[in-house]
Amino acid sequence: MANSFEEIWQELKNKIYKPIYFLMGEEPFFIDVIADYIEENVLTNNEKSFNFSMLYGKDMDLASIITLARRYPMMANYQIVMVKEAQNIKNIDASEMGKKVNPLLSYLQEPLESTILVFCYKGKKLEKNRKVYKAIEKKGVIFDSKKISDSKVPAWITQQFKRKGKSIEQDAARLMADFIGNNLSAIMNEINKVDIFIENHKEITVEHIEKLIGVSKDFNNFELIKAIATKNMTQANRITLYFESDPRQHPVQQSVVLLFDFFTKMLIYKDVQRLSDNEIASKLGIPPYYISEYKIASKHYSIQHIIQNIHLIREYDMKTKGVDSISDSHELLKELVYKLINTSSN
């Protein structure tokens, strides 16, 4: 079973180290955070001179990596062998290489407790049924770094500010998430920037985010969804025109994904709306304070209308990718928004 980020982080903080860390998956942010912590905290600067090896998968074969891993540390308790871009190592998950056993499999039969071997395997995963996966799982740590869904990004932002001893308004967190998307590295850079510029403030407001990150509190996907939810065509048009004026900062695909997520969740809401707010939030996978939007939207859209809109969003998603359409993507977004609001629901 793969380890969670929280489990790994707590063990590292408590100086509990494993002989191998295989950090894999789609989200590079968590992989980098774990790898950077190991690099910066296990060894002192003096110890690193002889006991830290930074390798790159495109330049190394597995046998050479394992040869380094079998060395003993010099004047330190540990040596670290860190392999970046490990996804470029050929046949890393094979049981055999030629006529020989995979050197990683052989090493994992009795890994050195004084070596911390770290593989950063971004964008790919080891298959669970492979011998290598099972051997790593038995002797060390496997971490599957998964992308955070767009709907969970505001809560993640709130958590990061909390770790810095600050709070952030709900709307400010959503505004930030909408503007940056789910690129956690980019979000963390902005969080650090905000933290530096307003170090004397304990609560981050919408005005702070608007000023420091350069996002409009009135013209963003969050407000577009609100306008559609309340069938405010005038405001929806204003927002789509604003997006068109700055297409690099407002990619249509991001809007389409968020609209699909909203209407999909609204369909679920229709089925569970008699439950308590906490139960509904759990079913939708959102914080309870977002439920009011679905309550309002539910009054304006029937189940049939919601289903029609989901089909519409799928259709326009393909069109914005160039399938059966040569129209400008922002023109397509304006068409889509009009149809979402005005398609007959009865």
DSSP 8-state code for residue 85: T
Q: Nearest to residue 157, comparing CAs of 140, 143, 174?
A: 174
What is the tens place of the pLDDT at every residue in 32-86?
A: 999 999 999 999 999 999 999 999 999 899 999 999 999 999 999 999 999 999 9
Query: Domain spans of the chain?
Result: 5-145, 150-213, 221-342
Which residues partner with 168 through β-bridges? Answer: 204
Q: pLDDT grade, residue 344 (50/70/90)?
A: low
Can you read off the two tokens belonging to residue 279?
A: 């139960």
- Given a cut of 50, whether residue 346 has pLDDT beyond it is no
pLDDT of residue 40: 95
Q: What are 294-302's contacts with CB under 8 Å, separation 24+?
A: 294/265, 294/266, 294/269, 296/229, 296/230, 297/228, 297/229, 297/230, 297/262, 297/266, 298/266, 298/269, 298/270, 298/273, 300/229, 300/230, 300/231, 301/266, 301/345, 302/345, 302/346
For the chain, the farthest-separated pair of C-alpha atoms sits apart, in whole angstroms, at 77
pLDDT of residue 309: 95
Domains 5-145 and 221-342 share a fold: no
Q: pLDDT grade, residue 288 (50/70/90)?
A: confident
What is the tens place of the pLDDT at every residue in 259-285?
A: 999 999 999 999 999 999 889 988 888
Q: Nearest to residue 47, comparing CAs of 82, 24, 23, 79?
A: 79
Share of the chain above pLDDT 70, in %: 99
What is the tens place of the pLDDT at every residue in 169-194?
A: 988 998 898 888 888 998 999 999 89
Q: Choose the weakest-confidence range: 93-97, 109-113, 310-314.
A: 93-97
> May I ask the CATH architecture of the domain 150-213?
Orthogonal Bundle (1.10)
Measure Cα distances from 198 to 163, 173, 204, 314 in Å: 15, 16, 8, 41
pLDDT of residue 183: 86
pLDDT of residue 2: 67
Amino acid, res. 103: P
17 three-class SS: coil
Contacts of 223 (CB under 8 A, 6+ apart): 217, 235, 239
Specify whether domain 5-145 bears CATH 3.40.50.300.
yes
Rounded to whole angstroms, the Cα distance separating 102 from 112 reads: 17
Residue 164 dihedral angles phi and psi, to the nearest 5° = -95, 5
Tell me what the pLDDT averaged over the chain comes to. 90
226 three-class SS: helix
Q: Which has the higher per-residue pLDDT, 158 or 3?
A: 158
Q: pLDDT grade, residue 110 (50/70/90)?
A: very high
Measure Cα distances from 251 to 105, 154, 220 in Å: 45, 19, 11
Structure-token match 């308590």, residue found? 276
Q: Nearest to residue 203, comparing CAs of 240, 161, 174?
A: 161
Element (H, E) at 34: helix 28-41
The CATH number of the structural domain formed by 221-342 is 1.20.272.10
Amino acid, res. 13: K
